[in-house]
Amino acid sequence: MSEQKLLERFMWLSIAASAFVIALKIVAAVVTGSVGFFSDAVESLINLIAACVGLWAIKLAAKPADDNHNFGHARAEYLSAQVEGFLILVASVVIIIAAIGRIIEPQPLEQLGIGLAFSVVATVINAAVGFVLIRAGKKYRSTALDADGRHLITDLWTTVGVIVGMALVWLTGWEILDPIVALVVGANILFTGYSLLRGAILGLLSETLPEEEVATLKGFLADYSAANGVEFTSVRTTSAGRQRYVDLVMQVPGAWTVDRSHDHADVVEEGIAAALGDAETVIHVEPLGHPTTVGPKSA
């Protein structure tokens, strides 16, 4: 199975899990009349919408480069993360408003035991699917999968908080805890939405690769430089969705022919792709000692 088809299947898993979890949480909210359970259901609804957007983004990101998008469509995954972050912020506002309304006008809760049972099942499902998506997002460097997985894990902790709060209401009879729990949930979701939006915006701003990947790249270049008598300068990195990009200058002895320099450039490109788990590298060849005027001065 191709990597693209595998990523799409992960997103379909998220969609299916979110739809089932929403059903469980809606039942819990309706049966109990709890604003806490309602807030939990709203977050899962947002996650379902976001998962659908994520699936669209993964399909779009896989399209090859064309006349209007010379570097492909990989940044579509950042759009998915932005949409998901925005939707989470909207959900947090809805939840907070509902919680404040319940504080002003308290309402009795019913059948909390049934609601708790449904929420526990939803928690187990979110935990399993969330960790699968995050692991897959890291393995395949998919921003969309990682964002959706993190949202599911946030949903998991949200549900755990709601379960604890409702259990306390059940045991103590303090119904004011219901809207208080909802307020805490809303605040937590607000922070999650901010984090997702920040990460997606940084991606659009061509942020450098993670420190561990940059260290791997520098290690490869240092070894190659020592073994072949070349130097690397102006090393720049960035990413677009799952794709890594490296741009650098390779300074070679002035006596080298164009063919020899080109052969070394090919080897460096292949080596970087292997070291970083696939990367597109652009190499500019200059004679040793040539002054560098663009980007960082050395690897």
Q: What is the 3-state secondary structure (H, E, C) of 38-56?
A: HHHHHHHHHHHHHHHHHHH
Is residue 225 over pLDDT 90? Answer: yes
Asked whether residue 217 is domain-assigned, the answer is: yes
238 and 197 in a common domain: no
Asked whether residue 297 is domain-assigned, the answer is: no
Asked whether residue 78 is domain-assigned, the answer is: yes
Rounded to the nearest integer, the mean pLDDT of the chain is 81
Q: How many Cα neighbours within 13 Å face the side chain of 111?
A: 12
Domain boundary among 137, 172, 205: 205
Asked whether residue 247 is domain-assigned, the answer is: yes
Kindly list the distances between the CA atom of residue 3 and the CA atoms of 6, 139, 142, 284, in Å, as whole numbers in the listed order. 5, 11, 11, 31
Parent domain of 128: 3-205
Q: In a 10 Å sphere around its CB, with 0-12 CB exposed, 13-18 middle and 19+ buried, how is residue 117 labelled?
A: middle
Residue 298 has what pLDDT?
47
Domain boundary among 205, 235, 254: 205
User: Is residue 235 very low, low, confident or very high in pLDDT (cuts 50, 70, 90)?
Assistant: very high
User: Is residue 221 very low, low, confident or very high in pLDDT (cuts 50, 70, 90)?
Assistant: very high
User: Is residue 295 very low, low, confident or very high in pLDDT (cuts 50, 70, 90)?
Assistant: low
Could you read off the pLDDT of 175-200 as tens digits, one per residue?
788 788 778 877 877 877 777 777 76
Asked whether residue 294 is domain-assigned, the answer is: no
Asked whether residue 158 is domain-assigned, the answer is: yes
22 and 87 in a common domain: yes
Q: What is the CATH number of the domain that holds 251?
A: 3.30.70.1350
User: Is residue 292 very low, low, confident or very high in pLDDT (cuts 50, 70, 90)?
Assistant: low
Asked whether residue 35 is domain-assigned, the answer is: yes
- The answer to whether the CB of 268 falls within 8 A of the CB of 281 is yes
Give 208's DSSP letter.
P
Q: What is the CATH number of the domain that holds 166?
A: 1.20.1510.10
Neighbours of 298 (CB within 10 A): 15
126 and 17 in a common domain: yes
218 and 168 in a common domain: no
Domain boundary among 205, 233, 253: 205
Total domains in the fold of the chain: 2
Asked whether residue 43 is domain-assigned, the answer is: yes
194 and 225 in a common domain: no
247 and 121 in a common domain: no
**Can you tell me the mean pLDDT for 20-45?**
84
159 and 215 in a common domain: no
260 and 131 in a common domain: no
153 and 49 in a common domain: yes
267 and 230 in a common domain: yes
260 and 145 in a common domain: no
Closest CA to 268 of 255, 279, 257: 279
270 and 123 in a common domain: no
